[in-house]
Every structure is written in C-alpha cells, then in structure tokens.
Structure 1
Amino acid sequence: MKTSKLGSVGDVSRLTLGGGGIGQIWGPTGRDEAVATLRAAVEAGIDLIDTAPTYFNCEAVVGETFEGAPPAHLKFTTKCVLGSPPPGEAAARLEASLDATLAAMRLKRVDVFFLHSSIAPDDYAYAHGDARRDEFSTRWSIYADEVVPAFERLVAQGRIGAWGITGIGVPRSILAALARGPAPAVVQVITNLLDSAGGIRRFAEPANPRAILAAAQARGVGVMGIRAVQAGALTRAFDRPVSPNHPDAKDFERAAPYRALCAAWGEDPAIIAHRYALGLPGVDTLVLGVKNRDELNQALAAEAAGPLDAGQLAQIEQLGLRT
C-alpha cells in the first residue's frame, strides 16, 4: 500500500477505511463481517480509520475489535455534527462528543477530530432544509469564535492530534476556513468524476470541490477524499433502496454513459471511480465506504492498479458529466 503525507498528521496509507460501511450506512452487513472487514483492511496496509458517532455502530465495532489496544501504527479520526448551538455552548458539546467517542472506541485520544457540520455565513439561507439549518450547519461566527479555539485547546491538552473540517458546506465558507488562521490540519473533500455531493448538498450553488481541493493543496492542508463512488451512483447498482427522486438516484441516471464506457473497457465502474479519485492532484488519502471484504478487495485492486492513464481520463471528461 502506497502512503502519502496528510498535512501535519504525517504519513498515512493512500486508502482510509471509512466507518460508514462497517457501521451499516451503505447497505446491510453483519457485525462479524464488519469486524472481518476492519481486520482485513489493517492487514492490507490501511492505517487510517475514519469514524463518527453518526455512523451507527462503527465506533463500537472499532472498540470491540481492538479491545482498547489497537496496533500502534493505526491512526483514528472522528467527527461531531455540532450544528449551531446557543452562544457559549460549542466547546462543551464538542468535548462531550469526543468523550463519548473515546469511550466507545476505548481510546485515550484520536488523531483528527472533524467538525462534521456544514459551515455557512451567519445570514445564509439554504435551498433545502433551511428550517433545520441549526441542526446540520455551523454559522461562521460560531466556527471562528468558538469552534476553532475549542479545537486548539483539545490539541494543546493532547486529547486530539489535530482538527479538521468536512468540506461539504457552502463553498465560499469552506474556502474562507482554509484561508484564515488557524487553518484546519485536514479537510475532507468531495472527489468523484461527477463533482457531486449528491444528497448531502443543501445549497443551490455548485459544490465546487476542485477549488476547495486546490485551496487546501496550496495551504498545505491535508486532504481526505470522500464519495469516490458518490454514494453508489458510480457503481453498477445501488446496494440499498433509493427513491427515484433522490439526488443520488439522479446522479446514477446521469452516470449511465460512464457505466457504458466502463462496460466497453471491460472494467468495473466502482474500481475505475476509485482510480479516478486517487489520481486527482492533492488527494492524500481516499476514504472508502466499503461494508464487506469483497468491496474492500475491489478498492485495494483500484489502489494497486494506480491512477488512470491520460487516454482514459480524456474519455471520461469527454462525457461531460461534471456538475
């Protein structure tokens, strides 16, 4: 397994095991298979495990698998969907979330703690779900005045190695967070050939992930690529029921020419999508949403095959699928 430098976090494997799959977000899997997938990922050279309390039971799976004594070379991340709490409450909520995570995973610290809320200007109105914005979105003033200082204190206390943001918020706010100081050590960025955030994009404007990727690279911020297969839209078929009106289903429909191209190549679209994402400049590690060992082996094959060649990239871009 190749490695890359993830900003100040240091060298990590090019693939990260995401907790969504083993936590049973992406289609059904059993507890035994989740544990087996986690162990197989580590045996294959994956040394970064990306978790969150919202990924159902993934943090408990980590705790049970390693019984509080994971291999010393492994690194762990977790997240908090903070939203926009009343003034003065952000730090306490972040610490409570971290406490619960550490207890579940039986760890004393994590290597990266992410703000998993969207970030938006204080006066911003979302195109979708604005009435609930304080549940899923952190207002800029709270981010700058409370979240960043709270994260910096947790680093100073040694409870986290670094902090980061999930770069799915309003693009201009994510770019502002990368430009100001202190900047996050790591940002999670949408990295797929559609440039789509699918159902997690609540704003009307384009997600603009390539600009976010470039800004992070210029600032020396580590990048964890996410949604390489766009929640299944870039695979042969969804592994779970999806409403035809859901944005992910619309992406699946839009990607039909891509699946046809992969069929003409005799390739699996999921493997090609992972290779595409791994080849994007500035992506240090790619977070996998795999839920079983078969899907893990597909991703491992993609990493071993390396980035797509120029001819393949040109054919994909000629499909005109980017949003």
Structure 2
Amino acid sequence: MDGRRLGAQGPEVSALGLGAMGMSDLYGPADRTESIATLRAAIDAGITLLDTGDFYGMGHNELLIHEALRTGDRERVAISVKFGGMRDPAGNWVGYDARPEAVRNFLAYTLRRLGTDYVDVYRPARLDPAVPVEETVGAIADMVKAGYVRHIGLSEVGAESLRRAQAVHPISDLQIEYSLLSRGIEAEVLPTARELGIGITAYGVLSRGLLSGHWTAERSIGQTDFRSHSPRFQGDNLTRNLALVEALRGVAEAQGATPAQVAIAWVLSRGSDIVALVGARRRDRLAESLAAADLTLSADDLAAIEAAVPHGAAAGSRYSEAQMAHLDSER
C-alpha cells in the first residue's frame, strides 16, 4: 500500500488506516474473534496505522489491539491514541479532562493496556474548555522528551487552536471528520493545516456507514449505537441522505466499484497529506475498503462524484447539538 507522511514532522504510514472504535463501542455489538482477525488482516494487507481511544469501551479497545499485536507486529504499526473523554460506569459521557496531570495519568494506563513502551501519536480527543491548548500540548511534549510518545496530534480543533498548539510543539496531524457529506474543513481548517505542515487524518470517511452503500432505511439501530441519536440517520434526513448515496452508487457502478470504495477514494484524492481511516469491523468490509486504495479517480470521475453528492448536500449535522458544542473545529 502507498505510504503517506502525517504532516512535515509525523510518521510515515499507509494511505489507509484502521479505526478500531467500532470493535468495542458505539456501533452496536461486535464479535471479539472477528475483530482481532480483522486487525491482523489489516496489518498483513499493509495497513500501518491503527487508531484507538482510551475511552473506547473504557479501555477495551486498547486491550483488543494489544491482543492483536501479540504475534509480534508492534513495530510494523503506528498506534494513534486519543485521550480525555470521561465516562461513567454506564458508559455515559461526562466531560473532558486534558489537564497536564491527567495527560500523564491517561498515558500511563494506555501504555499498560496496549502492552507497549510508547505511543506513536498521542492526542486529546477534544479541547478541554478549562485548559488552554498550550498546557495540554506542553504536557504531551514532556512525554515526548521522556520517550513515551513519538508525535503529538490533535482532534477536531479549529485553525486558531492549530496555530497555538504548533507554537508549543510540532503537531504531526489533525484527526477530523472529512467525507463527501462532511466538508467543513475545506474552508479554513485544511488550508491552515497545510500552511503549518500538519497532516490530516480523516475519520468518518463513510459518514458512519451512510456512504457505504450497505445502509437502508429499514435497518434497526439499538439505543447504544451512536447512529440512533445522529441527526443524519433520523427521519427525512436519512431519506435525503440515502438518495445521495444512490446517486453515488450510479457513479461507482460505472467504474465497477462500490459506493464505499468511491467515497474512500474521493477522500484520498483530496491531497497526499490526507490519510483516510476506515472503521471496518469485519474482514469482508476491510477487503472492500482496501480496494479503494487502488481506485484512481479521473477529473471526469471527480466531477461526476461532485454532481452526485454536492458540497453541503448532507441533511442534518454530523453530531447532535450538544456534541457539536464540544467541537472547536465548528466554531
């Protein structure tokens, strides 16, 4: 698989990364055996970026990755970890903590659960409104000096916060939602990241499954599934968004591809400084996503995709109103 560097200062990784969140949390039940098999299949296929969060399944996701890497694959991959999300025993979200002392505490537990001496990229999941970004980045920088972290990343921050963070320590990449249905970064965040030499790790490239071509209006969603509360999966919004997917399917079929493959290839086409995270939980979905890396989109293809899913065509915001308030990138 082709490699891409996470910004001017970050590691060289595969153009496609694997986001492991859904194997532990937020997308309904997952099969542990299949999850580990999928992680191992991804590594064997050349994926070298694994993304997790210490709050995904309250540590379960990190332990899952640890199990998948027991075969000795740790040095073959870069592990990106988000921290700061606070949850109660019932799994409810109760805020963010990115104080310097919290950084050190969270990292200690992450290293133990992953069974590793270092994390390749460490990043706060969101900005803590009570803590200046400079303090959080400075605390991670101390962990870089100590050898526990290789690179510092950020997640869902805006242009001003990127500049402030970069002034403290080089930032490898910004993890942020970017897809045909979520293109808000193109106005200010993406140009600023490029100006500063910060890469983009795009998550939600299939918009939580909407763009996969496998979603239907009749699909049942459990209450623990994030999508049961996501505006884009509700009522008329879902109907309108699925119509966009059907238009995309027509473009994909003309190329002998699937909507998911075209949607992923579109993200990869936006620049060599962008790495796309796919959230496959099964080997068959992983295989479908991997094929996107070999799909070359011509200027005519890109124009057809744009016509099928125009900028701003998505119905509904990408998070609920309460969750949107936590996104520095949307201010």
What TM-score, normalized to structure 2?
0.78
Secondary structure at 1:72's aligned position in 2?
A: helix
Contact 1:24 1:291 in 2 (8 A): no
The 5 Å alignment of 1:139-154 reads 139=129, 142-144=132-134, 146-154=135-143
Give the one of 211, 230, 239 matched to 2:188.
Answer: 211
Question: What stretches of structure 2 of length at least 5 have no aligned partner?
Answer: 86-94, 313-331
Residue 247 of structure 1 corresponds to 231
Contact 2:66 2:113 in 1 (8 A): yes
State the identity as a percent. Answer: 25
Q: 1:174 to 1:311 in 2, by over 3 A?
A: farther
Residue 211 of structure 2 corresponds to 234
CA distance in 1, matches of 2:136, 2:34: 36
Structure 2 residue 65 is matched with structure 1 residue 65: no
Contact 1:186 1:221 in 2 (8 A): yes
What TM-score, normalized to structure 1?
0.80
Secondary structure at 2:264's aligned position in 1?
A: helix
Structure 2 residue 30 is matched with structure 1 residue 29: yes
Q: 1:298 to 1:84 in 2, by over 3 A?
A: closer
1:96 alignment partner AA: N
Question: Alpha-carbon deviation of 1:115?
Answer: 0.9
Aligned-CA RMSD value:
2.5
Contact 1:140 1:173 in 2 (8 A): no
Contact 2:50 2:79 in 1 (8 A): yes
Question: Alpha-carbon deviation of 1:256?
Answer: 3.1
1:43 alignment partner AA: D
Q: 1:320 to 1:217 in 2, by over 3 A?
A: same
Residue 289 of structure 1 corresponds to 279
Question: What stretches of structure 1 of length at least 5 have no aligned partner?
Answer: 120-137, 197-206
Residue 259 of structure 2 corresponds to 269
1:79 alignment partner AA: K
1:37 alignment partner AA: T
* Matched residues, number: 287
Residue 190 of structure 1 corresponds to 177
The 5 Å alignment of 1:50-89 reads 50-56=51-57, 57-67=60-70, 69-81=72-84, 85=97
Contact 2:153 2:173 in 1 (8 A): yes
The 5 Å alignment of 1:84-95 reads 85=97, 90-95=99-104
1:187 alignment partner AA: L
2:52 alignment partner AA: T
Q: What's the CA shift string for 1:228-270, capped at 9, x where partnerless?
A: 0111221220676177773231564333343222332424221
